[in-house]
Amino acid sequence: MLDFFTIFSKGGLVLWCFQGVSDSCTGPVNALIRSVLLQERGGNNSFTHEALTLKYKLDNQFELVFVVGFQKILTLTYVDKLIDDVHRLFRDKYRTEIQQQSALSLLNGTFDFQNDFLRLLREAEESSKIRAPTTMKKFEDSEKAKKPVRSMIETRGEKPKEKAKNSKKKGAKKEGSDGPLATSKPVPAEKSGLPVGPENGVELSKEELIRRKREEFIQKHGRGMEKSNKSTKSDAPKEKGKKAPRVWELGGCANKEVLDYSTPTTNGTPEAALSEDINLIRGTGSGGQLQDLDCSSSDDEGAAQNSTKPSATKGTLGGMFGMLKGLVGSKSLSREDMESVLDKMRDHLIAKNVAADIAVQLWESVANKLEGKVMGTFSTVTSTVKQALQESLVQILQPQRRVDMLRDIMDAQRRQRPYVVTFCGVNGVGKSTNLAKISFWLLENGFSVLIAACDTFRAGAVEQLRTHTRRLSALHPPEKHGGRTMVQLFEKGYGKDAAGIAMEAIAFARNQGFDVVLVDTAGRMQDNAPLMTALAKLITVNTPDLVLFVGEALVGNEAVDQLVKFNRALADHSMAQTPRLIDGIVLTKFDTIDDKVGAAISMTYITSKPIVFVGTGQTYCDLRSLNAKAVVAALMKA
């Protein structure tokens, strides 16, 4: 039973609607428009919203959308056929009204489609019932029934042919070695001209067989013995010129003053050179304002190539689409026209580090978006597909929610509470380093920061944050801020409960008047259930304002697996009724990938969450905001 079936234009005008139940279809259809159609996620023609499953079909020629909704616990096999039949009949019946393409004509038009829809629904339901159920395969139809009975009978003591042959060979060898000597004299191998062995009918005496085996053993292992002898000879002169052990000055002295290096130095760096090192670590540029990510654009390089080599680029579109020029003229696109271009597009995206599943879904999305669309007079299939792909990629990199940390922090200040950010991710992606970069950015904007060292598992994690805190304090000393401490580390050592440390840090920040609390967590693999449970507990207990997933730009398919399993683990191990999932992404090591920027597409496509920060280097100023057009230009570059 269907809950509803609706037909509306891409401009938002509902042309016709069928209600199978009393509940309104407005909420599910609006969710479909926001989450799928506007976000360019049309690779799959089904969408789940609460207890409903929605299936849809796009008509790009007349700019129509057909949507059917039913309970997701039902398995309705006729839904796809019903959508195709309704689409075909509605388009053919009201072609003239739809072709006018004016909102007023669509509003004044009367689309009396109720009787036709009920007839199609009845036919689709009956066709699904008429279809005979699949019967089980009978024994007479199987391969086993075709074999003769005699071939399947095995008598006791009888062996298969292969085993019998092997046993004969083994038995012959045993007889030659352990059995009684033959009465007839063996024919020498040199006279017979045949290779010696029982398989050729030549019997060997026990002494000859031992001698032959000894020769074979020497031939096999003689070379290895020669090599070992050479190696022992080559090692002999090395032992003669063996390096003498180094004698250190004051080697036997246990003087405390000599062994203590903590007084004149700070973390291995002299105090006099600390300011110079801090300036190097800070980097160049304004730390208070995030700059847009700068990727080399393919348009600039294309313009330079056109100026230098006009003949080489004439008649081509450049990049991955240069080899395939499509048809020219006013015609509607079909999948056959776009298939070769879309295949090259998919392979190009995979080569740029986009996950394979995401590339296939983008392939389907662009194909559904363009199928049936009428091309312009001077447009080619290649240029049309390229433009549609670029629009889809830009839309994917601009998700529904935009994270503005500075605005949210000022809102938390008005409520007189600290703004809490939790960082999570797998091992070695740069959580602590980018936490320090974000701390520097917040300090440059005038906010005080408390860093909570909740990584109580990795050795050296607390010391790493302590070093960053000392360097940030040197860049923003209390003297510059009226005696106010701008950055401080809250630590409780190792082996403690991370959720408890975070709770104490938030309470400490509230009492001391800190504006922001940055919670550093231990790196964990997405398959480690105990650590994922601990992370879910930390997020559930402390309810941070922002949960950031830190991922590196080097990964391909692994990015999808990490994000999907992190979100799933947070949902499964959470004790809340509505579990808290990832709110944003920090993409690190972006300066190491050149133009292979596909991880940004994979992460945003899977989570529908924005990339808040991009790490581009090793200094505190190497923090950028994502520029969607620059990333897409780098992605499309050949």
Residue 122's CB: how many other CB atoms inside 10 A?
A: 10
- In terms of phi and psi (left: phi > 0; alpha: psi -120 to 50; beta: otherwise), the region of 42 is alpha
Q: What is the pLDDT of residue 369?
A: 83
| pLDDT bracket for residue 271 (50, 70, 90) | very low
R_g of the chain, CA atoms, integer Å: 37
Alpha carbon distance 634, 600 (integer Å): 12
Lowest mean pLDDT segment, chosen from 36-45, 69-78, 510-519, 531-540: 36-45
Tell me the average pLDDT across 164-172: 48
Alpha carbon distance 550, 138 (integer Å): 56
Over 60: is that where the pLDDT of 447 sits? yes
Identify the CA nearest to 367 among candidates 347, 381, 349, 348.
Answer: 381
Over 80: is that where the pLDDT of 258 sits? no
Identify the CA nearest to 115 among candidates 106, 107, 126, 123.
Answer: 123
Tell me the average pLDDT across 446-468: 92
Q: What is the pLDDT of residue 145?
A: 72
Cβ 501 vs Cβ 453: under 8 Å:
yes
Cβ 431 vs Cβ 523: under 8 Å:
yes
Over 60: is that where the pLDDT of 330 sits? no
Lowest mean pLDDT segment, chosen from 216-225, 252-261, 354-363: 252-261
Q: What is the pLDDT of residue 32?
A: 87
Alpha carbon distance 58, 56 (integer Å): 7
CA atoms within 13 A on the CB side of 543: 4
DSSP 220-279: HHHHHHHHHHHHHHHHHHHHHTPPPPPPPTTTT---HHHH--TTTEETTEEGGGHHHHHH
Q: Report how far apart, in Å, the C-alpha atoms of 67 and of each of 7, 26, 64, 120, 512 are.
A: 6, 12, 10, 15, 55
Alpha carbon distance 393, 370 (integer Å): 15
Q: What is the pLDDT of residue 5?
A: 92
230-247: per-residue pLDDT in tens?
544 444 444 445 555 655
Higher pLDDT, 130 or 488: 488
- In this structure, CATH architecture of domain 2-127: 2-Layer Sandwich (3.30)
Residue 281's SS3 state is helix
Q: What is the pLDDT of residue 510?
A: 94
DSSP 120-155: HHHHHHHHHHHSPPPPPPPGGGSHHHHS-HHHH---
Domain boundaries, the chain: 2-127, 333-397, 405-628
Counting DSSP H helices and E strands in the chain, the numbers are 25, 16
Q: What is the pLDDT of residue 296?
A: 57
Alpha carbon distance 603, 592 (integer Å): 18
| pLDDT bracket for residue 559 (50, 70, 90) | confident
Q: What is the pLDDT of residue 275?
A: 46
Higher pLDDT, 526 or 614: 614
Tell me the average pLDDT across 46-55: 86
With a pLDDT cut of 70, the percent of the chain lying above it is 70
Q: What is the pLDDT of residue 372?
A: 80
Tell me the average pLDDT across 498-527: 92
Q: Tell me the torsion sign for CA atoms 285, 288, 291, 293.
A: positive
602-636: per-residue pLDDT in tens?
888 888 888 999 998 888 988 988 888 888 888 88
Alpha carbon distance 512, 207 (integer Å): 96
| pLDDT bracket for residue 472 (50, 70, 90) | very high
Alpha carbon distance 23, 3 (integer Å): 8
Over 50: is that where the pLDDT of 301 sits? no
Alpha carbon distance 322, 315 (integer Å): 9
Per CATH, 2-127 and 405-628 having the same topology is answered: no
Over 90: is that where the pLDDT of 61 sits? no
> If you count them, how many residues does the chain have?
638
Sorted by sequence, the CB contacts under 8 Å of residue 121 that are 6+ apart come out as 2, 82
Q: Which residues pair with 490 in a beta bridge?
A: 452
Q: What is the pLDDT of residue 287?
A: 61
Tell me the average pLDDT across 278-289: 65
Over 90: is that where the pLDDT of 451 sits? yes
Residue 341's SS3 state is helix
Cβ 295 vs Cβ 627: under 8 Å:
yes
- Rounded mean pLDDT of the chain? 76
The pTM (predicted TM-score) of the whole model is: 0.63
| pLDDT bracket for residue 262 (50, 70, 90) | very low
71-98: per-residue pLDDT in tens?
888 888 888 889 988 988 888 888 777 7
**Rounded to 5 degrees, what angle do the CA atoms 363, 365, 371 make?**
95
With a pLDDT cut of 90, the percent of the chain lying above it is 19
Angle between helices 274-282 and 461-475 (to 10 degrees): 90
Alpha carbon distance 86, 83 (integer Å): 5
Residue corresponding to tokens 């005496």: 205
Cβ 556 vs Cβ 354: under 8 Å:
yes
308-328: per-residue pLDDT in tens?
344 333 343 444 444 444 444
Tell me the average pLDDT across 547-568: 86
Residue 426's SS3 state is coil
Tell me the average pLDDT across 434-455: 93
Residue 422's SS3 state is strand
Over 80: is that where the pLDDT of 284 sits? no
Tell me the average pLDDT across 271-298: 59
DSSP state of 33: I
Over 90: is that where the pLDDT of 420 sits? yes
Alpha carbon distance 214, 209 (integer Å): 9
CATH number of 405-628: 3.40.50.300
Give, rounded to a whole angstrom, the gap between the first and last alpha carbons of the chain.
Answer: 50
Q: What is the pLDDT of residue 464?
A: 92
| pLDDT bracket for residue 391 (50, 70, 90) | confident
Token readout for 637 is: 């570059």
Residue 393's SS3 state is helix
Alpha carbon distance 338, 365 (integer Å): 12
Q: What is the pLDDT of residue 597?
A: 86
